[in-house]
Amino acid sequence: MTNQVAVEAPERPRAPHMAPAGTEVLASLRGDSNRRPLVDPGLSGGLRDWLEDGLCSLPLGSQAPLIVNKQVLRDALARRDRRNAGPQAITGSMALGALMDALFRQLVTVGHIDDPMRDGLDALRVDPRRSEVVDFVHGLAGQELADFEDELETQSAILLSRWPRLSPAWLPRTQERIAVPLAGGDVVLVGVIDLIVGAPSGGRASVGLIEVKSGRSRIEDREDLRFYALLETLRSGAAPFRVATFYTRTGQVDAEDVNDELLTSSLQRVLIAIGRMVAAA
């Protein structure tokens, strides 16, 4: 069910696990603090006005409220219509991703992972929306279950060996939801970010956004983070300084600095997607 990853590593750590300082990853998340831009106090308002102007000519009433998240954007831009497709069946890769998200959150907030399978399932059980993932994992047996557990153990070991212990001064917040209403509430841009660090500043940009992925690197991963950077800018009035994806199958980080060009490109992508959604309806 899951893609196997060949990882050359010593025997996987067992309970209890404690994350050492990952200086390489930390440097990628932090970037060059001397190059962080000054916060433009007019940027957020200008972006919001641009969005409002772009939406005002669209016939949104029949579809309101239009909830726009990263998957909706992807589908609209790829011209995929999932309105009548029904719920998506759980796959091994989806279940692995859900468990790794839960383990990442535990590592950031508690500082350790005892047993990846047990801890991950316990975390998912408290959220009724994750019941299908829990049922899927419980339904695995034989070689499928062995392969799934092996991949989960491998990625957990990589996470533990590579992820840095974050200082409380970074103000880490996990699974933070951002909702930005537009057009009088007819459109709501929504995102749930795996990890946000830092607090909005009136001086230099000081917020970083991090996503965690258990699969291979895809171009859509960067687009998702650019969308989240736009949401954070609209919400707080200050753009983040950097966005990054941490890949638990390799321990690598893909990061990029946030600038005006990145934000305006994401804004245009949002307007194009919403325009296609309205036209298709």
The Cα–Cα gap between 83 and 68 comes to 13
| Alpha carbon 204 to chain centroid, angstroms | 24
Q: Are 7 and 154 in contact (CB under 8 A)?
A: yes
The Cα–Cα gap between 131 and 88 comes to 14
The Cα–Cα gap between 9 and 150 comes to 13
pLDDT confidence of residue 134: 97
Q: Are 203 and 38 in contact (CB under 8 A)?
A: yes
pLDDT confidence of residue 14: 41
Q: Map out the domains of the chain as residue ranges.
A: 28-81+168-280, 85-162
> Measured on CA atoms in the order 108, 160, 206, 179, is the torsion positive or negative?
negative
Measured CA distances, 37 to 32, 206, 214, 257 (Å) = 11, 9, 31, 10
Query: What does the pLDDT profile of the chain (281 residues) look like in tens digits?
Result: 444 434 333 344 443 344 444 888 999 998 888 889 899 999 999 999 999 999 998 888 767 789 999 999 999 999 887 666 666 799 999 999 999 999 999 999 999 999 999 999 999 999 999 999 999 999 999 999 999 999 999 999 999 999 999 989 999 999 999 999 999 999 999 999 999 999 888 889 999 999 999 999 999 999 999 999 999 999 999 999 999 999 999 999 999 999 999 999 999 999 999 999 998 87
Going by C-alpha positions, the residue among 236, 172, 180, 181 that lies closest to residue 209 is 172
Residues 6+ apart with CB under 8 A from 88: 94
Helix (H, G, I), strand (E, B) or coil at 176: strand
Going by C-alpha positions, the residue among 5, 1, 221 that lies closest to residue 90 is 1
Q: Are 251 and 162 in contact (CB under 8 A)?
A: yes
Could you tell me how many helices (H) and strands (E) the chain has, helices first? 9, 8
* Token output for 159: 């996470």
Q: Say if domain 28-81+168-280 classifies as CATH 3.90.320.
A: yes
The Cα–Cα gap between 149 and 12 comes to 12
Residues 6+ apart with CB under 8 A from 136: 90, 95
Q: Are 187 and 65 in contact (CB under 8 A)?
A: yes
Question: The whole model's pTM is what?
Answer: 0.88
